[in-house]
Amino acid sequence: MKIIAVVSAKGGVGKTTATANLCAALKQGGRNVLAIDLDPQNALHLHFGDNPRRIAGTSRATLAGQDWRDVGFSSSSGVVVLPYGAVNEDDRQAFERHLDGHADWLPRNIQALGLGAEDVVVLDTPPGPSVYMRTALSAAQLSVIVTLPDAASYATLPMMEGLVQTYCVKRPDFINHVFVVNQVDNSRLLARDVLQVMRADFGKRVVGVIHQDQSVSEALAFNQSVLDYDPRCQATQDYLACARNIEAMLTTFGSSP
C-alpha cells in the first residue's frame, strides 16, 4: 500500500478537482484506489457523484468511535471514497484536537482497513499549513503539490518544500515530492514562462501538466470525473499521463531492495 498526499499552499488552484481526477486516472491504470478527504470543506465526495446531503465521514466516525468502513462508499468509477463528513464548529475543533494529540491516527485507521500491498490511498487536504496537512504529509510516501502557472503560486513553492522537508524527507519510506501544474493556458505568455521555469527547477518532478479545459468543470456539473465525461479531451489525456508518471515512481520504489 502506498499513501499519496495531495497538498497546496493556497486555495483556488483546483486541488480537490485534481485529486478526484487523479484518483480516477490511477484507477483506470489498474490500481485499487481509496480517496480520503481530510479537508473540512468536505467537497471531495461531490466529485464522485455522491449525495450532497451525506453527513457521514471520517471526522464524525472518529468522534463517535465508529469504524471507517461504515462511512465510505464506492463510486461509479470504482474509486472508494471516505468523505470528511459534515460537522458543526465545535465538533470540527474537537476533531482537530484529536488529530493534534494522536500522531498515529491516520496510519492506524488506514491499516485497520486491510488494504492490499498494491492499493493506493490518496489524501485530499485543505490549502496551506494545518493539522490536516501535517497529518497527511507525516503518513505519505509521495506528496503531490498542486500549483498554478503564475507568479504568486510559484512564490509559495519554497514554503511547501520546507514542509515536505520537515514531515517527509527523513522517513525511509518516503519516495519524493512532485508537482502538478494545473489550469495551464498555453495562450498566456506568463503561464508558459512559469511552466518553463518549473521544468528547469524541478525536472522530472513535474509529473503533471493539466491544461485548462472546459470539460473539467462540465464533468463536475454532471457528477463525473473528466475521464468519464470526455475520454478524448486534453485534460483527460493530461491526467492519464500524470497517473502514469506517478505509477512509474510507485513501481520503481516498490521494486527496490
What DSSP line would sit under 118-182, residue for residue? T-EEEEE--SSS-HHHHHHHHH-SEEEEEE-SSHHHHHHHHHHHHHHHHHTTTSTT--EEEEEEE
Q: Rounded distance, CA 83 to CA 42, Å?
A: 6
84 has pLDDT over 70: yes
pLDDT tier at 204 (50, 70, 90 boundaries)? very high
The residue whose grid cell reads 498566456 is 188
The answer to whether 247 and 118 are in contact (CB under 8 A) is no
Task: Look up the domain containing 25 and give its range.
Answer: 2-254
The residue whose grid cell reads 483546483 is 14
CATH number, domain at 134?
Answer: 3.40.50.300
Q: How many CA atoms lie within 13 A of 86 on its CB side?
A: 7
What's the domain count of the chain? Answer: 1
Averaged pLDDT, 148-177: 94
- pTM for this structure? 0.95
- pLDDT tens for each residue of 103-127: 999 999 999 999 999 999 999 999 9
* Average pLDDT of every residue of the chain: 94
